[in-house]
Chain A
């Protein structure tokens, strides 16, 4: 999937805003929002929050995890742990990018938070690359990906499944070739084995 589609999905996250106007509830297909009372926090989808912010109709309440000390803890934990730690939000990259780009003035110490999140992502990204390398050098075609977020999974999307597809294809061809040479010992030509799979995608 395209990065913009991942952003689109992340935009469905519900987030707090403090509106500066008063209005009755709005019944959206995805659920009702409001009532809006000026100065009182209310939950809306992120896509709407960003729009409201651009129209200067609200302040955005940063999610609880968007806080320097907490992010620092997460970063240290991520460094310590051999495995991927659980992120505070499935779409943490999308949410933080959208909020920090559009509403940095609503986030205390925005710059520091930006750096911390970038650090966390970089650590995880490096970890992901090393584990992929180990995984591909092994013989398995299956792996568990717990605690990786959708965005991270998709950063290695074209590469990882594709590489695995090729490896699996060669393995199948090798097995078929072996079978062929053992069953038909007089046949010296095993190259066309498994040809069915070569025609497929």
Chain B
């Protein structure tokens, strides 16, 4: 994955690919960072796990290692070095915090997320490959741990566990803070089908499930 791919996604002209000006490259990297920041905020404030951002992450990680490489030639006391270094640390923090938030959800709602994930087709998977693998291994680990520590010492008729009873689900009706990015007409906001129009830039507190589609389509941002 290279920056050229992002430019394609953003429909930026590819004509002068050879002598791509610095500025063009920066605009796209900037956009990637913006997307990651939004994804981070959404993920932190959302009760459910949101679609993974592997593409954005890979682009940003590529950019970071590219910059790390370039910075080797700079003097460590140079102001430019310090400014870049500080910014990279900030970007790294966003990335790690984002991934950690997702892992926390995976560990908490393992079985629920795995079941949901199995019911989705390849296009709409929410976990990255690595996360799926982690979730499966984590689930197996927990099961065998229960078994080794306690269950195997129980009388045989008590050893069975009903998996369905043990599923921990997120409360999708929990209240979240929301900021509308675009005007959205007639959103249902209550149990009695009360509707309001969300104006771009307005803020609301509302049960997540009622507006989850707005978050997924990027029309609203969790705050």
Contacts of A27 in B (CB 8 A): 22, 26
Chain A residues, CB < 8 A from B80: 23, 26
A70 within 8 A of B: no
Determine if A43 is an interface residue (Cβ-Cβ < 8 Å): no
| Nearest CB of B to A51, in Å | 6
Q: How many chain B residues have a CB neighbour from A under 8 Å?
A: 47
User: A160 CA to B189 CA in the complex, in Å?
Assistant: 17
Inter-chain CA distance A164–B191, complex, in Å, is: 14
> A8-B90, A23-B79, A142-B189 in contact; A165/B205 too (CB < 8 A)?
no
Which among A48, A142, A157 has the greatest number of chain B C-beta atoms within 10 A?
Answer: A142
Which residues in B have their C-beta under 8 angstroms from that of A157? Answer: 177
Q: Is the interface of A mostly helix, strand, loop or mixed?
A: mixed
Residues 5-31 of A, flagged 1 when their CB comes within 8 A of B and 0 if not, give 100110000000000010100111111
- 20 A–B contacts from the bound complex (CB under 8 Å): A27-B22, A28-B87, A29-B33, A33-B83, A47-B86, A140-B190, A141-B175, A141-B190, A141-B207, A142-B207, A143-B205, A145-B203, A153-B177, A161-B176, A164-B205, A168-B207, A197-B173, A199-B169, A200-B171, A201-B174
Interface residues of A (CB under 8 A from B): 1, 5, 8-9, 21, 23, 26-33, 47-48, 51, 57, 140-146, 148, 150, 153, 157, 160-161, 164-165, 168, 171, 197, 199-201
Enumerate the 4 nearest inter-chain pairs by beta-carbon distance, A residue then B residue, closest first. Answer: A161-B175, A142-B189, A145-B203, A200-B171
